[in-house]
Every structure is written in C-alpha cells, then in structure tokens.
Amino acid sequence: MISREPTLERLATAQSLLLAPFGLTESHLSRALAEITAHQVDDADLYFQYTRSEGWSLEEGIVKTGSFSIDQGVGVRAVAGEKTAFAYSDDISLDSLMDAARTVRSISAAAQSRRVKTPTRKIATSRSLYGGLDPIATLDSTAKVDLLGRVEKMARARDPRIAQVMAGLASEYDVVMVARADGTLAADVRPLVRLSVTVIAEDKGRREMGSGGGGGRFGLAYFDDAKIAEYVNDAVKAALTNLEARPAPAGEMTVVLGPGWPGILLHEAIGHGLEGDFNRKGSSAFSGRIGQRVAAKGVTVLDDGTIADRRGSLNVDDEGHASQRNVLIEDGILKGYLQDSMNARLMGVKPTGNGRRESYAHVPMPRMTNTYMLGGSQDPQDIVASIKKGLYATNFGGGQVDITSGKFVFSASEAFWVENGKIQYPVKGATIVGSGPESLKKVTMIGNDMRLDSGVGTCGKEGQSVPVGVGQPTLRIEGLTVGGTA
C-alpha cells in the first residue's frame, strides 16, 4: 500500500470530512475569499472544523455518565487594520459560506470595490508531531468502562482511608482546515485524550482531596496499568499528605517550587504577559522591553508547540502556520513575544505559530502551546536543603493574574514547611502572592530536573479554552509573599 506524505494525508482527510459531504470544492473556497477581498482588507481566512468527542465518568464504583457529541462548522474572518469582522455557521454549505463572506467584507464597506487576481494555491508547511488516529475508536466501550474500574480498584487498594474515588476518561478527534486569502491551504488532524482521577481520603472525621491524571495526542492504549498506577499514586499521595497538613504560616519568605505542574505559575504570571496582543496594546508589564533584562541570569523560558504527542502541540496553528519552538526569555533577556497573524503584521514581525482558537465559532488570538523554563545545574535536594525558613510548593490549584501589573495570586494544593533545610510538615491553605516580572528577577537557584506536566492543562483567555502544556525545574525564589491560615 502506498501512503501519502503526512501533510497531504491530513489535507485529504479534512477535505473528505469538511468539503466533499457538502458538495464544496477548493474553487468554492476561492470564490468565498474573493468575495471578501473584493473590498480592501489586510487578511481573510476560512476555518472549517469537525470535532467528535466522547466522555465517561465513574463515581461510587459506577460509571454514571457517558457522553458523545459531533460538532462541525465554518468560521469566516476578515481583518482590516486592527478591526476584525467574523461570522460563523454550523451549516457548511456554499450559501452559508457566501453569506458569511459578504457579511465580513463589510468591515471595509467604505473602500472601493476592486477586482482581485486569484492567488496561487499553496499547501502550508506543517509538522508531523502525532498520528492522525481517531482515539475514540482505539478502545471499545467495554474496555473504557473496565479502564475506569481499574482506576477505582487501584485507588482503594492503596490505603483504607480512601473513602471515595472519581475518575473520568475523555477522547476527542478534531479535524481542521484553513483556507487563507493568499491561496494557502492547511489542515490538521488532532487526537486528544485525558484520564483524570480524584480521591477523597477520610481519617478521624477529616476529609481531604487529591488528584492526578494526564494525557496527550495519542490513543487510549497509552493508559496501561503502569500509567494508571502513576496517576492513582499521585492522587492518593496528595490526599493523604493533606490529611496531615497544618495551617500554613504567612509572611514574606523564600519559596521553592517543585518541577512539572508548578510551571502553571510561570504560564499564568509570565506567559500571558508575553502574548503579542497585550504587548502591541502596551498593556503588558513586558511591553517594549525586548532586549532588556527581565529575569535573573540562567532563566530561559520557551513556548514550544513542536514537542511530539504533547497536549499543547500542533502540526499547524489555527491560522495555518507551522508550530514553532520560540525562545521568549534567554538567560534573563527578553527575546520576543508570541504572535498570531494580525498582531505580528501590526508589530512588523513574523507570526510564531501561536494563532489559536477554541473552535470555528471563535476568532484566533495569540496563545501559548507548551510553555516551560529550561533546567539549570543544581540538585533539587540541595535547593530544598538551602531553605532556612520557607515554603516548598509541589502542586498548585487555581490562581489569577493581572496582565498589566503582572501581579498574581496562586493557591498551593500541596506544600510543605521547611526549616534549616529539613521538611517539617505539610501545610494547607497557602497562597502565593507576587509579581510575575519581579519574581523572575528573584530566582536564585534552578534545578537540573526540568519536567513537563503530565498532560492536563487547559488555558482560558477572553472566554476561549485551549489545551496547553507547562513545565519547569525546581526553582528557589526569594521574597515571595505567602498568605496562610496560621
């Protein structure tokens, strides 16, 4: 059997799902784009999407819910200067496409109509970071229910104090196609799976919760017994640790952040401030600071959408640009911002492969993919041992950030009080308060244990959610404010 090059294979898949069933061809897409560009616009695109999703959840030993959905549609966009006109429809037809095209071109209705030469067709370059399989079909329903049952059984077997187990399994098959006004065609086939487990431990009338899980862009066979055990161990350990937790001390102190998921603080407090739209508008604490020192020496931060099989990775972004490995901060010096097409054009730079949208019903904007800090040279145990009095935070829950000031507030879901280099006891109710730009300058030790999260991140911005990844090594940061309950 002769197989096609992956980029062409993905395009063929997209055309078979998004054009052929509705009697559409590439010439119809060119016609719709010509309708838009007959008026003076800077950019225009069509974004087709087909998404099939499935979810299962277990509680109290019973699979209580199962869901399945299919969504499809097209978004039509025109951009003139800083203005965007956008229309979308879940009816993929030529009539709907042309109606939307006529609607969005009104963004430049005052411009003189003009005849536009049909651009040359070109296939966008893309990456091959994950397979184009449908993960929903990689296990049958019986096997999925059995998988959740194994999660329940393993968790309860870990410790008699585990009183309740909740588990969820989600799969998604997402096919997108982008047609741009310059003749570019791009497509991606994006599998995505996630297994989550939450446990409640109870002892002497006290109840505490712990969670674990992970996933990525592959099939459900990834969740073998070893992987399930890893997630269960994380959840049970967190719950049992919190059973022993004491009220957290408060004040300004040294804080050591563990590797992996604690990178969510980096994502929120630093990453959002490096997105192009905030910097073009001058509303970010990092605006106009390229080439300047914004962090301590040794701090290098990347956003990398090119890591194979990762939750935040993309073969092409939602504007048809290949994903990239973008160095944002190098050895403490600010090197660049994350860009979509519009903000890149207005700032006089190139797109960075970070134009992302939640669905065909949303406009793209600059968004992170997998954002992380590179490791350093220090042993993580030495970093913890260096704390005279302070907090060692190994897991985080929710938080919020003010992009303009860079100030953040995060709650630690698993943390420990350390004195004279020794972990004394777990603490509960610790919140970490600080400024993203200032905290980067206060990094004094960087571990050699850089780790990405297990594949659970979802980022929200302006009402849109997209899958992302985070990561970092163990970090020592001076002078953060800890709000506690003691």
**Contact at 8 Å (CB) between 354 and 277?**
no
pLDDT at residue number 398: 72
What gap in Å lies between CA 3 and CA 248, rounded to an integer?
A: 59
- Residue numbers of the chain with a pLDDT score lower than 70: 1-3, 109-116, 485-486
pLDDT at residue number 114: 56
pLDDT digits (tens, 9 = 90+) for 323-339: 999 999 999 999 999 99
pLDDT at residue number 130: 98
Q: Give backbone dihedrals phi and psi of 434, rounded to 5 degrees, phi first.
A: -175, -170
Look at the pTM and tell me if it is higher than 0.75: yes
Closest CA to 198 of 190, 185, 188, 207: 207
pLDDT at residue number 1: 46
The overall longest dimension of the chain from CA atoms, in Å, is: 78
Q: At what angle do helices 94-104 and 26-37 cross, to 10 degrees?
A: 20
Closest CA to 417 of 442, 394, 447, 396: 394
SS (H, E, C) 315-331: CECCCCCECCEEEEEEC
